[in-house]
Structures are given as structure tokens and as C-alpha cells.
Amino acid sequence: MKKAGFIGLGIMGKPMAANLRKNGVELAAFTRSGVPDELTQAGVLACGSPAEVAEKADVIFIMVPDTPDVERVLFGENGVAGKLRQGQIVVDMSSISPIATRDFAARVRAKGAEYLDAPVSGGEVGAKAASLTIMVGGPQATFDAVKPFFDMMGKNVSLIGEVGAGQICKVANQVIVAATIEAVGEALLLASKAGVDAEKVRKALMGGFASSRILEVHGERMTKRTFDPGFRIELHQKDLNLALSTAQALGVSLPNTATCQALFNACAAHGGNAWDHSGMVRALEYLADHEIGQQRK
């Protein structure tokens, strides 16, 4: 099996890297805060820069927050690009701009390496359980070469199209997730304000057509008031910015996405940047002057 590298060991990257190592992958890693002891104790090689990871790996995975972070990892000082060689594969699993992704891929290919964009869905729970949905853009042959690694991190792995298609798919995913969180929040808030136990409503709806993973997981977060991430609101804001800017460029109207972004903005204004994105319901609660679970006024 090819040697792998992993850059970015945050909420998502750390368990993803751990799953590669658990499956016997020889792994080199870098993160700005230092590779965690639990990974080095498991046999992961800690590196001092992205360039060092590139020197030691055939397939280089990147999992960082935003477009400028990916650019810095690839092309900044001591970046991956300075050490790329023929036959290597760069796999960006971050959620970033589809337009920038295509530019990054062209610059990497100019070095003789291949490039896949492979953003994920499933959050921290999916990363730990190796059950992520992985949406990939790039050539079929490159996808086939990396597929065994993807299977160690996810359960639903799909090649969507050429480079950038994975990012477009992820943007679409985030539009659906945001709108569904908003709908679940409205429904449970309505029930609670009417004096009905919102948790019992949630459980009842899980047996019907309204059932969803978001109702199951994030609905429970809303009723139990557990808003530790998870997936931070500030990251979902970033993804919806990508959706809205892409839509503007294409002349597409996304009115519900814009509403969800406004609700996230309201949460951020109340100090909620780092809340789990299910915390969107708090903006709805503020508008209703009612918190899910409290006694009706």
C-alpha cells in the first residue's frame, strides 16, 4: 500500500487520520498545533511542515478549514507544492471554493502530480465512525488509486465528475443540511411554544415521512440543549457563503439558503460562532421569545 500523509488534524482530520493508521497505513502528518500524542503513539510520523509530509508520502490528504488555508498548505512557505514529484496525488478533503479548487489542481498538475477534491459530510460522529460521505472530483484512474484510503474513512464514496465537482456536491449538501436544520428548529419550537413536549414530538416524527438524520441527531441537540460542536456555525457560514457566491455567479436564486445564512449570522452576533450548527434554533427562539423545553408563557 502507498505511503500517505495527512495535513490538518482538527475535529475532523484527527479521527480521519486515526482511521487510516488503524488500517495499517504508513502515515506522516502535520498540523500547526502539533501532531497529538495519541497519533504518534499509534505510529504516525510527526512532521514539521507540509513540505516534509510531501517528501514522505505518495498520497497527501488535506483537511483544513477554508480556501486560504488550503492555498497556504499547498503553495505557502514550506508548502506541499515545493516538494511534489511525478506520480504523487494530492487529495483536498476540505470544503472550499470550487473555482479555487480548479486553479489549485492545475498548479499541482503542473508539478507532475494528480489532484482530487474530496469534501466530506457526516461531521465528527462520521469521522470517528469511518462512516463519512465522501464526494470526489477528478479523473477516474486517480479516484480508483485513492479509493482504498477513502473506504477507510467513509462508507458512501462517490466520484461526482471532474475536479471541482466534489466541491459543488458539498455545497449542495450544505444547502440541504442548513434548510433541514431550520425546518426541524421551526417544528420543534412550534411544538414547544404550544405547550407540547418537543422531545416526544421529535421521537414520534422519527417514525414518519418527516424522519431524517438531522431530526434524529440535531433535533435531539435542540431538545437537550447540547450545542457543543459537532460542526461549528462559523464553518457552515463559510459553506453557505460559497453556495451564495456560486449561485450569484450562475444567476441562481437561493432564497431559503439566504435565510439560513441570516439566522447563522444572528447566532454569531450573539457569540455563537463556535456553537454546533444545530444552534441555529437559538435565533428562531429569540424571535419567538421562547426556548424549546421551557414552560409556555
| Last-in-domain residue among 162, 185, 215 | 162
Q: Which three cell numbers stand for residue 231?
A: 460542526
User: 154 is written with which cell numbers?
Assistant: 467513509
pLDDT for residue 20: 98
For the four alpha carbons of 68, 69, 75 and 78, in that order, the dihedral sign comes to positive
Which strand (E) or helix (H) includes residue 118?
Answer: none
Same domain, 154 and 199: no
Q: 162, 138 in Cβ contact below 8 A?
A: yes
SS (HEC) of 193-231: HCCCCHHHHHHHHCCCCCCCHHHHHHHHHHHHCCCCCCC
**63-92: per-residue pLDDT in tens?**
999 999 999 999 999 999 999 999 999 999
Strand partners, 46: 29
Q: Would 120 be classed as within a structural domain?
A: yes
H or E stretch at 4 = strand 4-7
Residues 103 and 64 occupy one common structural domain: yes
Q: Round to whole Å and give the CA distance between 92 and 18.
A: 17
Q: What is the pTM (predicted TM-score) of this model?
A: 0.88
**113 to 8, 13, 265: CA distances (angstroms):** 20, 22, 39
Dihedral (CA of 149, 153, 158, 163) sign: negative
d(CA 60, CA 286): 44
Report the distance separating Cα 147 and Cα 61, nearest Å.
Answer: 13
Distance, in Å, from the CA atom of 14 to the CA atom of 43, rounded to the nearest integer, reads 14
* Domain boundary, last residue among 112, 140, 162: 162
Active-site pick, 170, 193, 238, 297: 170
Known catalytic residue at 297? no
Q: Domain limits at 94? A: 3-162
Structurally, how many domains does the chain consist of? 2
Q: Along the 297 residues of the chain, how does pLDDT read in single tens digits? A: 689 999 999 999 999 999 999 999 999 999 999 999 999 999 999 999 999 999 999 999 999 999 999 999 999 999 999 999 999 999 999 999 999 999 999 999 999 999 999 999 988 889 999 999 999 999 999 999 999 999 999 999 999 999 999 999 999 999 999 999 999 999 999 999 999 999 999 999 999 999 999 999 999 999 999 999 878 999 999 999 999 999 998 999 999 999 999 999 999 999 999 999 999 999 999 999 999 988 765
pLDDT of residue 1: 60
- Indicate whether 184 and 71 sit together in one domain: no
Cα separation of 101 and 91, whole Å? 11
**CATH number of the structural domain spanning residue 190:** 1.10.1040.10
For residues 297 and 295, what is the distance between their CA atoms, to the nearest angstrom? 6
pLDDT (0 to 100) of residue 297: 53
In angstroms, the Cα distances linking 180 to 116, 171, 185 are 29, 14, 8
